[in-house]
Amino acid sequence: MSVNNVEFRDLGLVNYKEAWDYQEILFEQIVSIKEENRKQTTKLATPNYLLFCEHPHVYTIGKSGKESNLLINEETLNDKGASLYKINRGGDITYHGPGQLVGYPVIDLDNFNLSIKKYIYKLEEAMIRSLYKFGINSTRLEGATGVWLDAEHPLKARKIGAIGVRISQLVSMHGFALNVNTDLSYFNNIIPCGIQGKSVTSLQNELGRQVEMNEVQKIVLKELKQSFNMKIKKSELINP
């Protein structure tokens, strides 16, 4: 098995906790192989996975996040049909919901000769290149992860793609979220990523029309494949 083989699975619309639990299973599988390899003369190749999905309305707070960045109480949260999870990725608070493409690479960075910094860079690069296919020029913002529009203009800067990962023993989980047809009003209930004074946008908001999620998935998958030099193998939908 080539070390850069990646099994791609489209989970569709899936509850956040189910997708999180599923990632943990795949993550532990890779980590356990790496640990065993350290003890053995014969080395087993570690698998790599890439999951795409959408989530019902949910807010997640990373390890360094502050609950004060959630601007609504539990009752209002329930009224909006949203859930809240404190999770084991880096970063602060963010929102996931229908119309947002969420990608979870659960991969062994050693297989791609990547440092953590380079891994984040390549995730950003894949989103930047994908947005360019829709005529949207995006870039990075100094001191902040993710993908931004008009980053050079403080009053106009707006975020379209977020990144939050957990990496242990150079194995990744969690990942990125790209706003496609996202209901941006849900971001009004938080201080996204703990950054004051910056707005959030989406493909739909920038183009003035709805965008086919399947089209976005195909483009992002292609750009991830090129950015990481992945050999993608698509599998049938497997319930997490």
What is the 3 state secondary structure string of 99-136?
A: CEEEEEEECEHHHHCCCHHHHHHHHHHHHHHHHHCCCC
**Alpha carbon distance 46, 106 (integer Å):** 11
Question: What does the buried/exposed string (b/e) look like for 43-64 if buried means 16 or more CB atoms within 10 Å of the residue's CB?
Answer: eeebbbbbbbbbbebbbbbbee
> Is the CB of residue 144 less than 8 Å from the CB of residue 193?
yes
The structure tokens listed for 54 are 């959408």
Torsion from C-alpha of 116, 121, 122, 123, nearest 10 degrees = 90
**For tokens 């990646």, what's the residue?**
6
> Is the CB of residue 88 less than 8 Å from the CB of residue 26?
no
193 is catalytic: yes
CB atoms within 10 A of CB 209: 9
DSSP state of 61: E
* Per annotation, catalytic residue among 101, 120, 193, 219: 193
Collapsing DSSP states into helix, strand and coil, what is residue 67?
Answer: helix
Catalytically active residues, by annotation: 193
